[in-house]
Amino acid sequence: MTVAQALRQATRDLAAVSDTPRLDAELLLAHAMGISREALLLGSPEAVVPDAFRDLLARRLGDEPVAYIVGHRAFWTIELAVTPAVLIPRPDSETLVEAAIAHFGLRAPQRILDLGTGSGALLLAALDHWPTAQGLGVDRSAAALGVARANAERLGLSARAQFLEAGWETAADGGYDLVLCNPPYIEADADLPAQVVRHEPASALFAGPDGLDDYRRIAPALALPADGVACVEIGATQAHAVRALFEGQGFLTQVKQDLAGRDRCVVVTRHG
């Protein structure tokens, strides 16, 4: 089977499990051939498809996410290794980085805290943007921290990024002028796609009956310096409830939308 034939057939097959069947087919075939997607698209459509593609396609048809199959995912300006120990970084979460950049303007944060760092996506994207900043990523999962440390090393950021097995209580430090956080915020009984429920870590997804359990822990723990900011990811319907939790602790809040126009980030600052 040639590349052109394989892509046509795989796209038809993947339409049953994916909203982006052609993209999935291209990424999987490029991975099987050991080349980039760009090289695949620019190469000969008559090239022969390796046998490995069949196994990769079968995994995707079994609802395994493409990022776990190929082992990496682009986020902001960086490329991250991902495993089933961490959530797959999503473009929606880039809203937090955009909000932080808008807050600091021409300035740069000096110390950054990433609560629930997972793959290290938010922290490493921020460090890549601000080359003078230092950062700490914390997570309760030792396996996730292993992924984050490896990403920092591969990106040349390990000298400025530290990682620690810890939880939301780290927010009380007060010495970080930028706090980034993408906590679990899915309701326990939410109906999620099979590829999420079957493959991504539940501990990073679910947060009690209303999805707010972790915000209830983070808000009273959070301490910020006078000019500091926390950028906290939320579900699309949670802005009012999450803002109320932080405002109840005396903070000011704003809401930022993602590219689809959905509420995605609560920006938290101190009065005055």
**Greatest alpha-carbon span in the chain:** 66
Residue 69 domain-assigned?
Answer: no
Residue 213 domain-assigned?
Answer: yes
| Cβ atoms of residues 218 and 183 within 8 Å | yes
User: What gap in Å lies between CA 86 and CA 204, rounded to an integer?
Assistant: 8
Residue 79 domain-assigned?
Answer: no
Can you give the pLDDT at residue 271?
A: 81
End-to-end CA distance of the chain: 66
Strand partners, 142: none
Question: Within this chain, do residues 202 and 247 fall inside the same structural domain, yes or no?
Answer: yes
Residue 73 domain-assigned?
Answer: no
User: What gap in Å lies between CA 228 and CA 252, rounded to an integer?
Assistant: 12
Can you give the pLDDT at residue 172?
A: 96
| Cβ atoms of residues 230 and 182 within 8 Å | no
265, two tokens: 């980030």
Residue 81 domain-assigned?
Answer: no
* CATH number where 227 lies: 3.40.50.150
Can you give the pLDDT at residue 1?
A: 86
* CATH number where 40 lies: 1.10.8.10
Total domains, the chain: 2
Per-residue pLDDT of the chain (272 residues; tens, 9 = 90+): 899 999 999 999 999 999 999 999 999 999 999 999 999 999 998 999 999 999 999 999 999 999 999 999 999 999 999 999 999 999 999 999 999 999 999 999 999 999 999 999 999 999 999 999 999 999 999 999 999 999 999 999 999 999 999 999 999 999 999 999 999 999 998 988 989 989 999 999 999 999 999 999 999 999 999 999 999 999 999 999 999 999 999 999 999 999 999 999 999 999 86
Can you give the pLDDT at residue 160?
A: 98
Residue 178 domain-assigned?
Answer: yes
Question: Within this chain, do residues 116 and 184 fall inside the same structural domain, yes or no?
Answer: yes
Residue 253 domain-assigned?
Answer: yes
Listed in sequence order, the residues at least 6 apart from 24 whose beta carbon sits closer than 8 Å to its beta carbon are 10, 14, 18, 60, 66
| Cβ atoms of residues 109 and 148 within 8 Å | no
The pTM of the full predicted model, rounded to 2 decimals, is 0.94
Residue 74 domain-assigned?
Answer: no
Strand partners, 255: 266
User: What gap in Å lies between CA 58 and CA 50, rounded to an integer?
Assistant: 14
| Cβ atoms of residues 73 and 65 within 8 Å | no
From 247, 111, 243, select the one nearest 173 (Cα to Cα): 111
Can you give the pLDDT at residue 272?
A: 63
DSSP for 10-61, written as a single string: HHHHHTTT-S-HHHHHHHHHHHHHTS-HHHHHHS-TTPBPPTHHHHHHHHHH
User: What gap in Å lies between CA 252 and CA 65, rounded to an integer?
Assistant: 38
245, two tokens: 């939790």
Question: Within this chain, do residues 196 and 138 fall inside the same structural domain, yes or no?
Answer: yes
Q: Which domain holds residue 169?
A: 86-269
